[in-house]
Amino acid sequence: MSRDFKLDIIGVGAAKAGTTWTATILDEHPDTCLGHGKELDYFLEDMPLYLQQRLGTTETKMRPKGEKWLKEQFTHSKPGQLKAEFSPRYFGDPGSPRLIHEHNPDAKLLINLRNPVEAAYSFYYHYIAFHPSEVDNFGDAIKI
């Protein structure tokens, strides 16, 4: 792969802070292109425990994806478009800042933040939408 392939914009916002909305708005702009899927997790060094459990693996590292794989996620981009990737998981991953900087020290970072209380309620509403029988109220949910 050509070493000149670089992502121009990387979103590292917190979960439930509007990263999907930001990525969607940016992807709709003709000068930008998101990869195939918002959360490629290319710069995620450590695999979160919930993902290990979902995949049924004990693997703790997320770096099997190479630069060739990353470039393949942008085959639909047009010449001159800025290439972007977003993942709220970068926000808490200690290895992501180094990997992002090594990839492109000039990349623009977009960081979405949200009031933690509002984020907690958003997590709650998201959770009960998929697991309605597991919690009765917000107070019980924050104990989980």
Q: Which helix (H) or strand (E) is 109 found in, with range? A: strand 108-110
* Confidence band, pLDDT 50/70/90 cuts, at residue 11: very high
HSE-CB at 74 with a 13 A cutoff on CA atoms is 24
Say what the alpha-carbon torsion angle 106, 112, 115, 117 is, to the nearest 10 degrees. -120
List pLDDT tens digits, range 12-23: 988 888 888 999
List pLDDT tens digits, range 76-114: 999 999 999 999 889 888 889 999 999 999 999 999 998
